[in-house]
Chain A
């Protein structure tokens, strides 16, 4: 059959995908074309929605972000049966995040979780430990920043993260809130939990960074901007996804060999822990596919251990199959993955499964509330209270 898979994969990723598809074609005799999409996830999501709404038969398999499958669940085929044999190999939390009302709407391809990047050279120079709590990090960052500035680098900052009002801020803020034991905005059972003291505390803490250890401009940073500051050597700490690791070690990078990663710091309080937002990508099959069986075959192939292993080796993508973290080949190619296993174990899913089609709006309300607090429009507790009311409105009787 002729299949097409739409993918927001980027440069090398696309080439990799193509190489795997070649294999698939060889194995099965199907032909597969890739429909590439811009890397902007909002663009992709909007397109998918439109295509699916219009019953576009041209696309068989979609590459979906972890948070999308629940929102598009109605338009995707249930893969539960088809994947019955392989589901067990994956991290259960990931499978859970792709399961809506008992239907498995997408199979995971790889996962993603952020880490705290820190400058080994600077910590060494000032004789500091890798911080394990936000408070420690703040203090260390402040101290090193001040010292470095005094030493003649006026552009030095303590910590950069993703502060723009967008999905990335939801990720960052979820980590703060969760690390302070403030829940995960909407709990798995659908209760709105965000308006609590710990959450407020976490966000207040982040707000205190702006203008002190983080630049004002951080409020507009997405991944690349923060990486820019970091990679120029102008930040002590940096929160980002694994991609920044290999880039930071690029040949022309000023921070090459001068940094390492650690789990994100923990908060303070009763349920304090380190938390990392769960990212990652999956494959879903359109219910408008004209050859659903072949399409499912393709999706499962792309999620298979073989492909995941190749992916881990070639692309440094984190596998969703636990076994692969012990695979010698994988660890030989990407030794840092060992670090990430720990990070990944602390991963928190965004509340897309419980909020279903409303997730994007929930997320938007959340990041707006956080962004407002960070920019000094109202205190965290005020904003969270409003947020709770808005979420309650949105929820109505049920999500």
Chain B
């Protein structure tokens, strides 16, 4: 173990951790700044500080007390969760068909699904509004759950199709011989194997639904049905032009924390080599 080697190795490790630190700082800094700002009030907001100078929970208090923010949080959790479950359910079954069953027009279908996600949301807004009113789900969570499939579904279908293709064929065949129907294969054999992909796409879809603003604004019309991003946009200062930065930052912190916790819970699933041991290797 020569000294020079150790040095080089040390430098490499140091550089690596430096990179990690840079990545973390860059990702977190704005959030940190948001937290910082959320503890400020009044003219303090316009002052640049790098460290907490004042500490007041007033913004949090006002966010949570005023209006229906807690209720909006619940709405968001419900809507995003159901959206993800629905999208994953539809996508898992569809991607099984798309990746595992040969039939004519398969790639055309994949293209069509992709095409759906090409249309600007702005442009479908009016038509979607009509559909939602026609279905009678206007101003209910279902309006959002329903409309969010437009961006969660193509994405999850595509990603899951890519992943499902990689699953070993032998396992499926073993299940077929065991008498498993496609449904059983999906639910009892493939799903447990696809944790990384499911969690990853689920998480991304969840965040997408969690953050969506335009549909949420358009398809709901009461405080009780709105979601968090709209609620944040509804946070307002004492007058028309005043932007309540402190409160907005406090609200953002509140809505971001659950996601961070979600990621921490699922992060082991995001990286898991479950296939090991099933097939040789």
Contact = CB atoms under 8 A, between A and B. Distances in A.
Interface of A: 4, 6, 8-14, 33, 35-40, 43, 47, 50, 53-54, 56, 58-59, 222-224, 227-229, 231-232, 240-241, 243-244, 246-247, 250-254, 315
Interface of B: 41-47, 66, 125-126, 129-130, 133, 138-139, 217-218, 221-223, 230, 233-234, 236-244
A257 B222 CA distance: 41
10 contacts: A13-B238, A38-B230, A39-B236, A54-B130, A58-B138, A58-B221, A231-B46, A243-B239, A243-B242, A246-B238
A227 B47 CA distance: 13
Given A33-B222, A37-B234, A253 B43 contact: yes
Contacts of B126: 50, 53-54
A50 B129 contact: yes
A11 B244 contact: yes
B222 A35 contact: yes
B140 to A, nearest CB: 12
B129 A224 contact: no
Contacts of B240: 8-10, 13, 39, 241, 243
Given A10-B242, A38-B233, A232 B222 contact: no
B154 to A, nearest CB: 24
Contact of B236 (A10, A58, A228, A315): A10
B119 to A, nearest CB: 17
A252 B129 contact: no
B234 A36 contact: yes
Contacts of A36: 223, 234
A33 B223 CA distance: 10
What are the nearest 8 A-B pairs in CB distance? A10-B236, A243-B239, A38-B233, A223-B241, A252-B42, A228-B46, A39-B236, A224-B243
Given A58-B138, A231-B43, A231-B46, A43 B233 contact: yes
A314 to B, nearest CB: 11
Given A36-B223, A47-B218, A252 B241 contact: no
A224 B43 contact: no
Given A10-B242, A13-B239, A232 B217 contact: no
A277 B45 CA distance: 29
A324 B227 CA distance: 40
Contact of A38 (B46, B129, B139, B234): B234
Contacts of B234: 36-39
A223 B125 CA distance: 30
A164 to B, nearest CB: 13
B216 to A, nearest CB: 11
Nearest to A231: B43
A202 to B, nearest CB: 24
A281 B234 CA distance: 18
B239 A10 contact: yes
A382 to B, nearest CB: 32
Given A40-B233, A250-B42, A224 B241 contact: yes
Contact of B43 (A8, A43, A232, A240): A232
Contacts of B139: 58
A242 B66 CA distance: 25
B217 A47 contact: yes
A222 B31 CA distance: 24
B42 A243 contact: no
B43 A12 contact: no
A253 B46 CA distance: 11
A344 B238 CA distance: 22
Given A10-B239, A35-B222, 9 more contacts: A9-B236, A11-B237, A12-B239, A50-B125, A56-B133, A231-B46, A243-B238, A243-B239, A251-B42
A234 B278 CA distance: 69
Contacts of B233: 38-40, 43
